[in-house]
Structure formats: C-alpha cells, structure tokens
Amino acid sequence: MFYRVWSAFVNYIRAMEPLFTATRFVRYRLTAKTAHGVHSPFVFELLNNVIRDRTPFYAFRPIESIRSKLLMDNTLLEVTDYGTGAQSGNKRRKVSDIALHYLLPAKYGQLLFRIVNRFQPKNILELGTSLGISSLYLSAPHRTSTVHTIEGCPQTAALATANFQRFKARNIEQRVGEFSTVLPELLGTIKHVDLAYLDGNHQYRPTLDYFETLLPFCNENTVLIFDDIHWSRGMENAWEEIKKHPDVRLTIDLFKMGFVFFRKEGPPQHFTLLY
C-alpha cells in the first residue's frame, strides 16, 4: 500500500513545485476523509458509487491501448505551450515523452468516465486536449453527448484527432487555438455547459479567468473539474478563490482534481476526500 501511494506521489510531482507539492500531499493524506467522515448524502453516494468504484468498464481497455501506442511513439512534435508561464513557447518533444509525463493517468481518466456516466451531461467542455486520452474518457460513456475540446498546439491536436478516429469517437468536436480567444466563441455557440474539465493553463489568473468566463453558462446541475489544483501556489490560490465564490455550493478536493458543484441544497460545503 505504501509503495503504491509513494509511486503515485513521485510521478505526480515531477513537473511541479516539488517541495510545495510534497508538503501539500502530506497535508492531504493527513486530513482527507474516508466515507465514514462524510455526512452529506450526496457526497457519500458519489464517493462510494462513483469516485471509488473499480468496475472495469468496456471503454477502458481500448483507450489504454491507444495510450500504450503513444508511449512507444518516438515521433518529434513541435509543441506550442501557452500554459506554464516561463516555460511557455515552442519546444520539440517526442510523443512518447508527452504521453509519459503529461497525459492524464488512467486512474483519473477512468474517474472522468464514471463522473460523466453518473451525471450524463449533454454539453461537455475540455480545456487542454493534449493527445486526446482524457477526451476519449469524457466521450465514451454517452455517445449522444458532445465533447467540445480546445487545444493550443496544432501538432498535438492533429495527433489527438487521429486518436479520436482510431477510437471511432464521433461525438468529439475539437478546436485549435489559445483558450482566451477560442473559449468565448465556443460558449457563444453552445450556450450552456453541463460539465467542464479544465486542464490547460496552470496559472492563478488564467484559471480564475476561465472560471469567471464559464459562470454565465453554468446552471445548478453543472459540474466543473479543475486538474492539478495543488500543482503550485498559484493554482492552489485559484482553487481557494473558486471555493469562496457565492455561486459555488459544494467542492470536493481529491488532491489532483477539484470538483465544483452549484447545487442549491443547504449551506456551502467543502470536502477533502481520500482517493
């Protein structure tokens, strides 16, 4: 058990602020609640039946097969990166390196699948397509839903499109460009967002800007999922600001991911759950 937890932790902090993330991980492990410490019926059900479910759904194996192919692909891509501050710019990276270090781990991709399966959103938004693995997990539960995914890097987006075709995912609509330009145009077209997964620009101000841009298109049943909420001080500060917003009624912190709900039932509640 200790080895699995430690391995997951080491893989997670490689590209982040190691000392900061390490201290936050220790705090998370010491404070996160299990089902016995949850007194919200909604959260209790979500934790037991969705978050901690281990059912091997039909889509998991073919999606992970695509990941395996990416991990063996040594093709060089010219990667345009808008999302990591001083590290932004154009860099040449192997597909295999991107797949190893930047793709959403299977554990969390499968969690996205279960969340979509549970809430059955019609319009799904993703900021940060990367190579398309997370997009596939979002699209697979309900082929009648539409995943609108945005990627800033043209070459990465092209490879993601090939993966969508390989998986025969016809309910993914991809746009390429900077989030600040593409997102407002997209929202004006789709009118409302049922679920959004934000895994793009990992900085304080852009994260809050995306949240504020999304708010007019959210409703009581919308679910927002923020990735890497403890990636850095900036991301953690953004997460704390989001939790304080008066429209936010419930949040769940799983360390790597933060879930935001707008359900108007009872006072605001914030949970840190062991996952």
Q: Name the β-bridge partners of 94.
A: 76
Residue 13's pLDDT is: 47
Write the single-letter amino acid at 83. Answer: G
Write the single-letter amino acid at 201. Answer: N
Task: Decide: helix, strand or coil at residue 24.
Answer: helix
Tokens standing for 3? 């080895």
Residue 85's pLDDT is: 43
pLDDT in tens, the chain (275 residues): 555 545 554 554 444 566 778 888 889 998 898 878 888 999 999 999 999 999 999 999 999 999 999 999 999 999 987 765 445 556 899 999 999 999 999 999 999 999 999 999 999 999 999 999 999 999 999 999 999 999 999 999 999 999 999 999 999 999 999 999 999 999 999 999 999 999 988 899 999 999 999 999 999 999 999 999 998 999 999 999 999 999 999 999 999 999 999 998 888 999 999 99
Residue 157's pLDDT is: 97
Placement of tokens 């793709």 in the chain: 103
CA–CA dist 32, 27 (Å, integer): 8
Residue 91's pLDDT is: 85
Write the single-letter amino acid at 17. Answer: E
Residue 15's pLDDT is: 46
pTM over 0.85: yes
Placement of tokens 């016995």 in the chain: 36
Q: Name the β-bridge partners of 133.
A: none
Three-state SS for 136-204 is HHHHCCCCCCEEEEEECCHHHHHHHHHHHHHHCCCCEEEEECCHHHHHHHHHHHHCCCCEEEECCCCCH
Go through the domains of the chain in sequence order and give each one's CATH number: 2-58+98-272 (3.40.50.150)
CA distances 54 to 134, 140, 192, Å, are 18, 17, 31
> Burial, 103: exposed, middle or buried (Cβ in 10 Å; 0-12, 13-18, 19+)?
middle
